[in-house]
Amino acid sequence: MKNKIEKPRFLKEYQLWKACSKNDNREPLQYVCFEHGYAYASNGHILARVNINTLTSMLSDEEKALLNGYCIHADAYKVLLRYDYIKIVTDGDDVSVVCPLYRNSITIKLVSKKTLKWPDFEKVLQAEGASHPIEKIGIEKTFLNNLTDAIGMKRIKMDFYSESSKIIVSPINEDYLDIKGLIMPIMTTGTMDF
């Protein structure tokens, strides 16, 4: 069995397009933006930030630098994840992602962050990071997904009591006060830092 050769690409496990807005009135939030060495995606309710070195495999430093200050539409990003080989190229002021396919290729032109007036979410993260959180609690995604499915709720509120105590999950909608769930935090050895 031959070893698979690693090629430049975006890693499929980072589905940033899921954090982008689907709302036509919030066009800038329909994009994944690259800046400060990270990729950002937000719909205004959630914000995802992934280091570009974690997000990509085998892209050169020059290609990563070309991404800085540019954005890709969430739908195009989703398509991009289907390809096992990409190149980041520039032609003057334009930056594109090229997915070579045998004799043909797919080219996705990126949009400048300035053109989109994309917000600087790093400032938001830094402002929040300046203060220390009251509690640090680990939650297993699968447990939370299973619990929200079990109680039939997509929108929930969570009541935290301490870093080692139960988390009460209940619907935001007051019509369902009789529905509740509980999830136990994940304890790690020593500190709860992630």
What residues does 55 pair with on adjacent strands? none
Q: Is the confidence at residue 189, as pLDDT, over 90?
A: no
- CA–CA separation, 185 and 50 (whole Å): 24
CA 76 to chain CA centroid, Å, is 15
Are 89 and 59 within 8 A, CB to CB?
no
On the 0-12 / 13-18 / 19+ scale of CB atoms within 10 A, 59 is buried
Report residue 86 as tokens. Answer: 């990409």
Of residues 168 and 130, the one with the higher pLDDT is 168
CA 182 to chain CA centroid, Å, is 26
Q: Which helix (H) or strand (E) holds 181?
A: strand 181-183
Homologous superfamily, domain 9-129: DNA Polymerase III, subunit A, domain 2 (3.10.150.10)
Q: Is the confidence at residue 128, as pLDDT, over 60?
A: no
Domain boundaries, the chain: 9-129, 132-194
Q: Residue 148's pLDDT is what?
A: 87
pLDDT tens figures, 13-39: 999 999 999 888 889 999 999 999 999
Q: What is the mean pLDDT of residues 143-154?
A: 87
Of residues 96 and 174, the one with the higher pLDDT is 96
The rounded percent of the chain whose pLDDT value lies above 70 is: 89
